């Protein structure tokens, strides 16, 4: 199987680190012209410099209407949109204030809605496009310690499915990808806070998976490149028969058959 994205332009939001950076790197390796996005100009520039290939960057906070408008003004058209921007944090559900619920929704859901609302109709006009929402296994098994996060991940599945239905038969597909616990800088910090910072990370990782994610069939944290591999396929022409799907790359941590 040869994935060739030569001639395609791809935007990956929230791509200065972690899963987003791995996706941007994978798309560039497949030949796409990649646009990196993040809130900080310095972090965007550093990410662009770290990725081989034809890569540029736009610093804009897509969690805000102003930031999304700035981004689409600088980049009116793309062939591939990867909605990866997201935040997570642990909090007791009955102690989460309104502004935190709103912040999580704006960042994790509405950012992708705004961009897809702009780019998808333009993809339809050209007869090709790929829109991917980076959701989470938390979409199908809400984590007790992060209900507000899980809510946003479930919402992404509904948005992606509805948009896929609206784009039916046009050559444009819309899908969700559901990573499981993945070794990103944020997750490493989360694991250390939960398990302990005074032990080797390999041991902390093992204990985290055994105690907090015992249903994992992988038995370890997923690596960002493993998520990126699926996203690059979904972004390609080879995935033309996949649309409206919730695609798991969760190491089997969600003990469900569908999705």
Query: In the prediction, which pLDDT does 256 show?
Result: 87
| DSSP structure class, residue 192 | H
Options 2.40.50.220, 3.40.50.720, 1.50.10.20, 3.40.50.1980; CATH of 9-181+223-249: 3.40.50.720
Token pair 């980076």 is found at 134
Round the CA-based radius of gyration of the chain to a whole number and report it: 18
Query: In the prediction, which pLDDT does 1 show?
Result: 84
Query: In the prediction, which pLDDT does 257 show?
Result: 86
Any idea where the domains of the chain sit in the sequence? 9-181+223-249, 183-221
Asked if 206 and 162 touch (Cβ cutoff 8 Å), the reply is: no
Which residues are designated catalytic?
A: 149
Rounded (5°) CA angle 229-39-128: 45
- Tokens in use for 92? 């007791």
Asked if 111 and 63 touch (Cβ cutoff 8 Å), the reply is: yes
Tell me the CA distances in angstroms from 255 to 67, 137, 140, 171, 175, one per residue in order: 38, 10, 9, 33, 21
- Note down pLDDT in tens along the chain; length 259 residues: 899 999 999 999 999 999 999 999 999 999 999 999 999 999 999 999 999 999 999 999 999 999 999 999 999 999 999 999 999 999 999 999 999 999 999 999 999 999 999 999 999 999 999 999 999 999 999 999 999 999 999 999 999 999 999 999 999 999 999 999 999 998 999 899 989 989 999 999 999 999 999 999 999 999 999 999 999 999 999 999 999 999 999 999 999 888 8
Indicate the pairing of strand 55-59 with strand 33-38: parallel
Q: Which one, of 180, 172, 179, 154, lies nearest residue 235 by Cα?
A: 172
**Residue pLDDT, tens place only, 172-211:** 999 999 999 999 998 999 899 989 989 999 999 999 999 9
Torsion 184-243-229-211 (CA) sign: positive
Other beta carbons within 10 angstroms of residue 226's beta carbon come to 18
Q: What's the residue count for the chain?
A: 259
* Beta strand ranges found along 121-165 (DSSP E): 129-134
């Amino acid at each position: 199987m040869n994935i060739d994205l030569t001639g395609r332009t791809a935007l990956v939001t929230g791509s200065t680190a972690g899963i987003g950076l791995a996706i941007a790197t994978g798309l560039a390796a497949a030949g796409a012209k990649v646009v990196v996005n993040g809130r900080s100009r310095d972090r965007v520039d550093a990410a662009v410099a770290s990725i081989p290939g034809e890569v540029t960057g736009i610093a804009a906070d897509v969690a805000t209407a102003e930031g999304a408008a700035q981004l689409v003004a600088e980049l009116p058209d793309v062939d591939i949109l990867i909605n990866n921007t997201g935040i997570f944090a642990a909090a007791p559900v009955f102690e989460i204030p309104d502004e935190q619920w709103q912040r999580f929704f704006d960042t994790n859901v509405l950012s992708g809605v705004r961009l897809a609302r702009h780019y998808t109709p333009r993809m339809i006009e050209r007869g090709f496009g790929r829109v991917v929402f980076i959701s989470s296994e938390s979409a199908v098994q809400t984590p007790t310690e992060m209900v507000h996060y899980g809510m946003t991940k479930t919402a992404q599945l509904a948005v992606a499915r509805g948009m896929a239905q609206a784009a039916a038969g046009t050559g444009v597909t819309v899908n969700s990808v559901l990573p499981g616990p993945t070794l990103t800088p944020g997750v490493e910090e989360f694991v250390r806070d939960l398990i302990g910072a005074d032990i080797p990370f390999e041991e902390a990782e093992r204990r985290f998976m055994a105690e907090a994610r015992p249903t994992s069939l992988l038995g370890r944290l997923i690596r960002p490149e493993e998520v990126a591999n699926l996203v690059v396929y979904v972004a390609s022409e080879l995935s033309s028969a996949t649309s409206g799907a919730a695609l798991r790359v969760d190491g089997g941590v969600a003990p469900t058959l569908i999705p």
